[in-house]
DNA sequence: CGCGGCCTTGATCGCACTCAATTCTAGTGG
DNA sequence: CCACTAGAATTGAGTGCGATCAAGGCCGCG
């Protein structure tokens, strides 16, 4: 089902004080004294596209702050099929459930090259005991996850295929350059939208023909978007 | 779109010390001293089926602990359509996002007669400052919401209509008596499953004909379930 | 009794799935 | 440098499931 690749590389212990995205992550508000409390190591890891952060049901020993890249969160159904339920981006946290339970509720896999800080749950607990601000950061992360899941349900699981594909493309648009988007393999897009590979492919092909999106590479991953036209497809008046 | 009914009745200030479901709610671990810190009133409210706890975008001033009944959580899309994204039951909390933001991310409506404790957000903050256990209760509630949302996506938004309807029925089975279930109006079931009223009705009718479920009342709300057969429909081998 | 709401049933249509073939690209080794 | 291959994306033809449109039935209520 899942290609099991555990393909991470260790890039050293994290240097929280000088973290590039310190403002948006869990430890952003901690003081130097707080950080000194950390004894167990926080590791700075790289995962290549397709590799595993953790599987559903694994013992939950770490939470992962995502510094770069995209992570898919999947859920395994009793009948063995797998569904993508959310995507995490830089600033999000994977495996938050480690703070309240002892196994992961779902699997997390790198969709592209990903950089994370892997924080042992013990460290988190220790720091949490001292820092109310960390508490509110955690709450904030939880709230984001719920909002994302709810959006996902509302936007990507209902409606005609064209519309769903359009909405997914918009969701994947670059944050800095909103008229560019990097898609995934058709198979994965299909799993996100509850459609088949062929239907996704046809929708993209049709929109390309109609000039709503423009293919920029040979693999069909990178596109330039005609925002106005695409918005119209995504949210029909 | 939504029938606007604000139809709640005040049943007095909450008596947390003697709460029937104290063990499963937010304030379950607080001491009497903690509870004495509360000055702003926690109200004990009843909502009749169809009435509003809060709308999406309302100023978030309270969180609602559900003591009895069922609450639907809906999200409004830009194009004006509305989707049901989750259901809350006794022990769950509605409006958790009040702890981190100042508007509600989604709407909450009573599906049946509902009893709640309405806790002003200020009270929660004050107590949270004193009680680490309240913190972990909150985390637990957040984790439940995410797990529920993820389950919802995985189980109820993909697959053939029969299967989805079967899964929803199982989700609505009584906790004490698992072979009985109380459904909703077909319209609402359709909104939950991303199907049409007619399709839901046909699926239920078919399963009734096949003896997988048995109608117990005239309105088509209450059913007795043939668990084994229904499980087979919900999770095809 | 008549009306309105909801559930059900029927007939038809179209979108998305299925099955299958083709094209394209990147990677491999001659 | 070019065949060869494997994997992915695309395209095509045909089918079926669920949406749509439209009646009809059932119950509660005035």
Mutate to test the interface with B, among A26, A98, A142, A144 (most CBs of B within 10 A): A142
Does the pLDDT at position B5 exceed 60? no
Nearest Cβ partner of B139 from A99, A150, A154? Answer: A99
Percent pLDDT > 90 in chain B is: 65
- State which residue of chain A sits closest to B237, comparing Cα positions: A79
Q: What is the spatial distance between Cα A18 and Cα A38, in angstroms, rounded to a whole number?
A: 16
- Residue B33's pLDDT is what? 65
Residues facing residue B109 across a β-bridge: B52, B72
Per-residue pLDDT averaged across A131-156, rounded? 90
Q: Which of A177-186, B20-29, B190-199 is predicted with the least confidence, judged by mean pLDDT?
A: B20-29
What is the distance in angstroms measured between the alpha-carbon CA of B205 and the sugar C1' of C8? 8
Does the pLDDT at position A24 exceed 70? no
Q: Are strands A213-215 and A222-225 parallel, antiparallel or unpaired?
A: antiparallel
Does the pLDDT at position B60 exceed 80? yes
Does the pLDDT at position B61 exceed 80? yes
Per-residue pLDDT averaged across A19-41, rounded? 66
Does the pLDDT at position A19 exceed 90? no
Nucleotide nearest to A196 (CA to C1'): C17
- State which residue of chain B sits closest to A97, comparing Cα positions: B143
- Strand D contacting residues by CB (7 Å): A 185-187, 197-198, 201-202, 204-205, 208, 215, 219-220; B 160-162, 194-196, 198-199, 218-219
Pick from A47-56, A198-207, B15-24, B118-127 the range whose average pLDDT is largest: A198-207
pTM for the structure as a whole: 0.88
- Residue B107 phi, psi (nearest 5): -95, 155
| Cβ proximity of A170 and A180 under 8 Å | no
Residues facing residue A180 across a β-bridge: A224
Beta-carbon pairs below 8 A across chains A and B: 113
- Residue B31's pLDDT is what? 66
What is the distance in angstroms measured between the alpha-carbon CA of B122 and the sugar C1' of D20? 50
- Residue A36's pLDDT is what? 65
- Residue B223's pLDDT is what? 97
- Residue A81's pLDDT is what? 86
Q: What is the spatial distance between Cα B207 and Cα B229, in angstroms, rounded to a whole number?
A: 10
User: Looking at strand C, which nucleotides approach a protein CB closer than 7 A?
Assistant: 6-11, 15-20, 24-26
| Cβ proximity of B104 and B58 under 8 Å | yes
| Cβ proximity of A225 and A169 under 8 Å | yes
Percent pLDDT > 70 in chain B is: 84
Chain A interface, Cβ < 8 Å to B: 73, 75, 77-79, 83, 85-86, 96-97, 99-101, 105-106, 128-129, 132, 135-136, 138-140, 142-143, 145-147, 149-155, 157-158, 194, 235-237
Per-residue pLDDT averaged across A214-228, rounded? 94
Among the listed residues B130, B118, B77, the one whose alpha carbon sits nearest the alpha carbon of residue B94? B118
- Residue B236 phi, psi (nearest 5): -60, 135
- Residue A3's pLDDT is what? 38
Does the pLDDT at position A227 exceed 90? yes
What is the distance in angstroms measured between the alpha-carbon CA of A82 and the sugar C1' of C17? 19
Say whether A146 and B149 touch across the interface (CB within 8 A): yes
Say whether B146 and A142 touch across the interface (CB within 8 A): yes
A103-123 pLDDT, tens per residue?
999 999 999 999 999 999 998
Report chain A's mean pLDDT, rounded to a whole number: 88
Say whether B150 and A149 touch across the interface (CB within 8 A): yes
Q: According to DSSP H, which parts of chain B are helical?
A: 32-36, 121-130, 132-156, 161-171, 186-193, 197-209, 227-234
Per-residue pLDDT averaged across B87-107, rounded? 95
């Amino acid at each position: 089902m899942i290609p099991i690749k555990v393909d991470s590389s260790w890039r050293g212990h994290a240097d929280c004080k000088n973290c590039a995205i310190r403002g948006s992550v869990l430890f952003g508000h901690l003081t130097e004294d707080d950080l000194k409390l950390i004894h167990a190591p926080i590791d700075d890891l790289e995962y290549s596209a397709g590799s595993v952060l953790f599987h559903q049901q694994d013992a939950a020993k770490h939470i992962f702050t995502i510094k770069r890249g995209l992570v898919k969160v999947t859920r395994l159904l009793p009948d063995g099929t797998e569904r993508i339920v959310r995507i995490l981006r830089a600033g999000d946290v994977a495996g938050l459930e480690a703070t309240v339970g002892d196994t992961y509720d779902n699997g997390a896999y790198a969709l592209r090259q990903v950089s994370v800080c892997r924080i042992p749950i013990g460290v988190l607990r220790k720091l949490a005991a001292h820092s109310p601000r960390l508490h509110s950061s955690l709450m904030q992360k939880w709230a984001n996850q719920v909002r994302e899941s709810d959006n996902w349900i509302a936007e990507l699981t209902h409606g005609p295929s064209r519309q769903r594909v359009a909405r997914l493309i918009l969701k994947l648009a670059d944050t800095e350059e909103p008229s560019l988007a990097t898609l995934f393999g058709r198979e994965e897009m299909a799993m996100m939208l509850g459609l088949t590979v062929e239907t996704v492919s046809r929708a993209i092909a049709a929109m390309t023909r109609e000039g709503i999106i423009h293919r920029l590479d040979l693999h069909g991953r990178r596109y330039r978007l005609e925002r106005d036209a695409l918005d119209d497809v995504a949210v029909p008046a």
